[in-house]
């Protein structure tokens, strides 16, 4: 053992504590940085003295996987909630003024006409209420289509986002493998944090599987096993218009003929695909069925009556553009009737009675929908109930996912988050260590002086 040893010990100790203090500084500085995992210096004894064996990044990989899975589910449900709450606004009939109320007015207008079949005012009311009803069907149909088109636009912009994240990940993978050779652990830790936040961002959009390789690069696969990122390479996705629906299909850019829509099962991309292809499509189907049945039943009854000029009633409602395409967004009142309200066939005979109008309004109680199980109004009311049900369900899912997410985030924060109090305690500890190391120098110097004095 030599006197020089104490100097070496003092130097190592001083440097080690210096490193620890630097890390504390970095932790404090990043206390509010999203995705930052706190770092800790690992002191290790050296015979004699101390050294920093490594810088530990406080991170639980399994918790990370769980958080990404939860993000996947949460962002999918949030996307659904976004679209569904827009639909709910369209169909909010709590204050009246919707199709439900107009249907009531429509039936009542026929009742009024039946009591005074030759009345011009009654005829005009029937026509104008029917026009309002048809125009509401059209606007609801258009509004639903807007939601569908928006979802379609979201699909292509989310695909662009995925491509951005995949490229970034490939880029970082390249840097990580380079750094792994140099042993710069703090630089590596920062890149790992970046990788994690890219994974979380990606998981929000699409359900992915990923593996961390021995060289610290991350490989990402879609749920169907196709590779999105491997090493410093990434495969771009693209959107191609479907031949039938003309909506965007998600494909790999190098295989544009194969749609991978069905492999995307969760996350916001899947949610928008689902909203577009299933949810809104279903709502439109229900609304179209109602419009088509209403037009068919009313037209059939109208044809059994006579107008004021003794003509057999013509079509009351018709579908614009193409009579075969019986969709709510095309429903209109016959132009001939709008031009001449006397063409409303209110009478059951050529003598101008009001019996056909009464029969017409009695259709309100006919079980015309759901293969003879419900009336027009009841069918529409249960449709509103169904939308409400869907919205309530997605709201509950978002609430549930958010609670889980909060718990998981807390769990991660508990391990990876920075506590200022802790860092302050560490600072005091390391500062004391640093001070003490400096004292070692003084002691070594004294020792050396004593020795010199003996010699001198």
Partner 1 sequence: MVMRVSENMKYNALMDNMFTVQDDYNKLMEKMSSLKEINRPSDDPIGMSKVLNLRESQASVAQYSKNIESCQSWLTITESKLSSAGDLLVTAREIAIAQATATASADTRTTGAGIVEQLMEEMLSLANATYQGNYLFSGTTTGTAPFSSTARDAAQIGAASASSGNTFDGAVTSGGTYTGSTNKTYVVKITDWNDATETATYSVSADGGENWTTTGATFVLPAAGSVSTGDIGDGVELTFDDTGSAALAENDVFSVQAYATGYYNGNGGELTVNIGEGTPFAYSISGEAAFTDKGDGEVDVFGVLNSLKEALENNSQTGISDLIDDLESASQQISNSISRCGTKGNRLEIASGNMADRELDLAGLISNAEDADVTEIITKLSMKQIALQASYSAASRIGSMTLLDWLR
- Site for partner 1, residues 335 to 354, rule: CB under 8 A: 348-354
Residue 93 or 150: the one with the smaller Cβ distance to partner 1 is 93
Q: Which of 128, 135, 184, 382 is close enough to bind partner 1 by CB under 8 A?
A: 382
Q: Which of 270, 290, 337, 391 is close enough to bind partner 1 by CB under 8 A?
A: 391
Residues from 118 through 147 that contact partner 1 (CB under 8 A): 118-119
Residues from 217 through 256 that contact partner 1 (CB under 8 A): none
Stretch that binds partner 1, among 18-26, 203-211, 235-243, 389-397 (CB under 8 A): 389-397
Residues from 94 through 123 that contact partner 1 (CB under 8 A): 94, 96, 100-101, 103-105, 107-108, 111-112, 114-119
Smallest separation (angstroms) from partner 1 to the CB of 61: 18
Which pair of tokens denotes residue 13? 């100790």
Q: Which of 137, 140, 283, 306 is close enough to bind partner 1 by CB under 8 A?
A: 306
Q: Count interface residues toward partner 1 (CB under 8 A).
A: 74
Residue 168 or 401: the one with the smaller Cβ distance to partner 1 is 401
- Spell out the SS3 assignment of the chain: CCHHHHHHHHHHHHHHHHHHHHHHHHHHHCCCCCCCCCEEEEEEECCCCEEEEEEEECCCHHHHHHHHHHHHHHHHHHHHHHHHHHHHHHCCCCCCCCHHHHHHHHHHHHHHHHHCCCCHHHHHHHHHHHHHHHHHHHHHHHHHHHHHHHHHHHHHHHHHHHHHHHHHHHHHHHHHHHHHHHCCHHHHHHHHHHHHHHHHHHHHHCCEEEEECCCCCEEEEECCCCEEEECCEECCEEEEECCCCCCEEEEECCECCCCCHHHCCCCHHHHHHHHHHHHHHHHHHHHHHHHHHHHHHHHHHHCCCECCCCCECCCCEEECCCCCCCCHHHEEECHHHHHCHHHCCCECCCCCCCHHHHHHHHHHHCCCECCCCECHHHHHHHHHHHHHHHHHHHHHHHHHHHHHHHHHHHHHHHHHCCCHHHHHHHHHHHHHHHHHHHHHHHHHHHHHHHHHHHHC
Taking residues 57 to 96 in sequence order and writing x for each that binds partner 1 by CB under 8 A, - otherwise, the string is -------------------------------xx-xxxx-x
Residues from 398 through 427 that contact partner 1 (CB under 8 A): 406, 409-410, 413-422, 424-425
With 0-12 / 13-18 / 19 or more C-beta atoms within 10 angstroms meaning exposed / middle / buried, residue 165 is: buried
Residues from 311 through 330 that contact partner 1 (CB under 8 A): 311-312, 314
C-alpha angle 197-85-99 in degrees, rounded to nearest 5: 165
Smallest separation (angstroms) from partner 1 to the CB of 353: 4
Residue 135 or 395: the one with the smaller Cβ distance to partner 1 is 395
Which pair of tokens denotes residue 190? 């920062």
Smallest separation (angstroms) from partner 1 to the CB of 239: 31
Q: Which of 242, 365, 367, 443 is close enough to bind partner 1 by CB under 8 A?
A: 365
Residue 240 or 358: the one with the smaller Cβ distance to partner 1 is 358
Q: Comparing C-alpha atoms, which of 275, 302, 311, 312 is closest to residue 387?
A: 275
Residues from 27 through 56 that contact partner 1 (CB under 8 A): 31-32
Residue 117 or 217: the one with the smaller Cβ distance to partner 1 is 117
Residue 159 or 328: the one with the smaller Cβ distance to partner 1 is 328
Residue 85 or 245: the one with the smaller Cβ distance to partner 1 is 85
Smallest separation (angstroms) from partner 1 to the CB of 302: 13
Taking residues 257 to 296 in sequence order and writing x for each that binds partner 1 by CB under 8 A, - otherwise, the string is ----------------------------------------
Smallest separation (angstroms) from partner 1 to the CB of 8: 33
Is 395 an interacting residue with respect to partner 1 (CB under 8 A)?
yes
Q: Which of 56, 238, 315, 386 is close enough to bind partner 1 by CB under 8 A?
A: 386
Smallest separation (angstroms) from partner 1 to the CB of 104: 4
């Amino acid at each position: 053992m030599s006197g020089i040893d104490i100097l070496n010990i003092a130097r190592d100790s001083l440097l080690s504590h210096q490193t620890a203090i630097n890390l504390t500084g970095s932790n404090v500085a990043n206390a509010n940085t999203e995705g930052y995992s706190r770092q800790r210096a690992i002191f290790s004894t050296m015979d004699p003295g101390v050294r920093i064996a490594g810088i530990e990044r406080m991170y639980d990989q399994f918790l990370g996987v769980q958080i990404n899975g939860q993000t996947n589910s949460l962002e999918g449900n949030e996307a659904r909630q976004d679209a569904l709450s827009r639909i709910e606004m369209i169909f909010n009939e709590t204050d009246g003024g919707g199709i439900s109320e107009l249907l009531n007015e429509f039936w009542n207008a026929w009742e009024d006409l039946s009591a005074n079949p030759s009345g011009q005012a009654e005829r005009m009311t029937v026509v104008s209420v029917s026009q309002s009803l048809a125009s509401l069907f059209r606007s609801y149909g258009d509004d639903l289509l807007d939601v569908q088109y928006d979802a379609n636009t979201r699909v292509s912009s989310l695909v662009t986002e995925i491509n951005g994240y995949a490229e970034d990940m490939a880029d970082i993978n390249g840097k990580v493998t380079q750094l792994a050779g140099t042993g710069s652990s703090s630089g590596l830790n920062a890149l790992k944090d970046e990788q994690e936040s890219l994974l979380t961002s990606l998981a929000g959009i699409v359900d992915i599987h990923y593996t961390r390789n021995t060289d610290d690069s991350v490989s990402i696969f879609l749920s169907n096993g196709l590779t999105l990122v491997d090493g410093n390479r990434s495969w771009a996705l693209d959107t191609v218009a479907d031949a039938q629906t003309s909506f965007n299909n998600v494909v790999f850019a190098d295989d544009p003929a194969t749609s991978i829509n069905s492999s995307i099962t969760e996350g916001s991309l899947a949610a928008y695909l689902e909203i577009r292809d299933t949810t809104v499509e279903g709502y439109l189907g229900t609304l179209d069925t109602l419009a088509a049945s209403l037009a068919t039943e009313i037209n059939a009854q109208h044809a059994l009556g006579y107008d004021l000029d003794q003509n057999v009633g013509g079509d009351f409602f018709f579908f614009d553009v193409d009579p075969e395409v019986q969709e709510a967004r095309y429903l209109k009142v016959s132009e001939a009737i709008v031009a001449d309200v006397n063409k409303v066939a209110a009478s059951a005979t050529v003598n101008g009675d009001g019996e056909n109008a009464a029969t017409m309004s009695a259709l309100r109680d006919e079980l015309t929908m759901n293969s003879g199980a419900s009336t027009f109004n009841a069918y529409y009311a249960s449709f509103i109930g169904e939308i409400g049900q869907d919205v309530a369900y997605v709201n509950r899912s978002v609430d549930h996912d958010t609670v889980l997410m909060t718990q998981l985030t807390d769990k991660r924060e508990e391990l990876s988050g920075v506590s200022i109090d802790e860092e302050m305690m560490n600072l005091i500890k390391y500062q004391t260590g640093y001070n003490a190391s400096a004292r070692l120098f003084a002691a070594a110097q004294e020792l050396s002086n004593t020795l010199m004095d003996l010699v001198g």
